[in-house]
Amino acid sequence: MKTVNKEKAPKRMRWTKAIVIVVLAGALFAAAGWAVFGMLVAKQDISLLEKPLPAPTIIYDMDGKEATRITQNTPEPASYDSLPKQLVDAVVAVEDKRFFEHGGTDAWGIGRAMATNLLSGKTVQGGSTITQQLAKNVFLSQERTWTRKWKEVLLAQKIEQQYDKRQIMTMYLNQIYFGEGAWGIERAAAVYFGKKAERLTLSESALLAGIIKAPSALSPRKHLTAAKERRGVVLQLMRDQGMISADEYASANRAPIVLGGSEPNAKEAMKYPYYVDAIIREAAAKYGLTENEVLHGGLRIYAALDTDMQQAAERVYAQADVFPSSASDQLIQSGAVLVDPRDGGIRALVGGRGDQPFRGFNRAVQLKRQPGSTMKPISVYAPAFERGYGPDDKLLDEPVDFGGYRPQNAGGGYHGEVSIHDAIVNSYNIPAVRLLNDIGIDAGMDSSARFGIALTDADRTLSLALGGLQEGVSPLDMAEAFGAFANDGTRMPAHAISRIESADGELLAEAPKNAGIRTTDPAVARTMTSVLEDVVRDGTGEAAALGDRPLAGKTGTTQMPGTGGEGIKDNWFVGYTPQLVGAVWLGYDHTDASHYLTTTSKAAAAVFRALMGEALEGEPVLDFPNAPGIPAKHERPPDDGKNEESKPPPGKNHDDKPGKHHDKPDRPPADDKPHHPPAGGPGKHGKPHPQEHHGPA
Distance CA 330, CA 590 (A): 8
Give the integer Cα–Cα distance in Å for 460 and 463. Answer: 8
Burial pattern 263-300, b for ≥16 Cβ within 10 A else e, equals bbebeebbbbbbbbbbbbbbbeebbebbbbbbbbbbbb
Cβ(465)–Cβ(435) under 8 Å? yes
What crossing angle do the helices spanning 522-538 and 475-486 adopt, rounded to 10°? 110
Q: In this structure, how many other beta carbons lie within 10 angstroms of the beta carbon of residue 248? A: 16
Asked if 95 is an active-site residue, the reply is yes
- Nearest Cα to Cα of residue 559 among 366, 408, 379: 408
Distance, in Å, from the CA atom of 551 to the CA atom of 573, rounded to the nearest integer, reads 12
Contact 113, 128 (CB under 8 A): no
Residue 373 annotated among the catalytic residues of the structure: yes
Cis ω before 493 (30° cut-off from 0): no
Q: Which of 128, 216, 373, 379 is catalytic?
A: 373
**Around Cβ 107, how many Cβ atoms within 10 Å?**
11
What is the SS3 assignment for 540-588?
CCHHHCECCECCEEEEEEEECCCCCCCCEEEEEEEEEECCEEEEEEEEC
Catalytic residue among 95, 314, 501, 614: 95
Instruction: Tell me whether residue 368 is exposed, middle or buried, using C-beta atoms within 10 angstroms of its C-beta: 0 to 12, 13 to 18, 19 or more.
Output: middle
Spatial separation of the C-alpha atoms in residues 530 and 511, rounded to whole Å: 32
Distance separating alpha carbons of residues 497 and 346, to the nearest angstrom: 9
d(CA 695, CA 572) in angstroms, rounded, equals 14
Q: 98 in the Ramachandran plot: left (φ > 0), alpha (ψ -120 to 50) or beta?
A: alpha
**Chain centroid offset of residue 283 CA:** 10
- Nearest alpha carbon to residue 559 among 550, 549, 570, 551: 570
What residues contact 283, with CB distance under 8 A and at least 6 apart? 289, 293, 294, 301, 497, 500, 509
Asked if 116 contacts 89 with a C-beta cutoff of 8 angstroms, the reply is no
Contact 142, 289 (CB under 8 A): yes
Sheet holding 552-559, edge to edge: 346-350, 333-339, 580-587, 568-577, 552-559
Q: What is the DSSP letter of 664?
A: P
Annotated catalytic sites, by residue? 95, 373
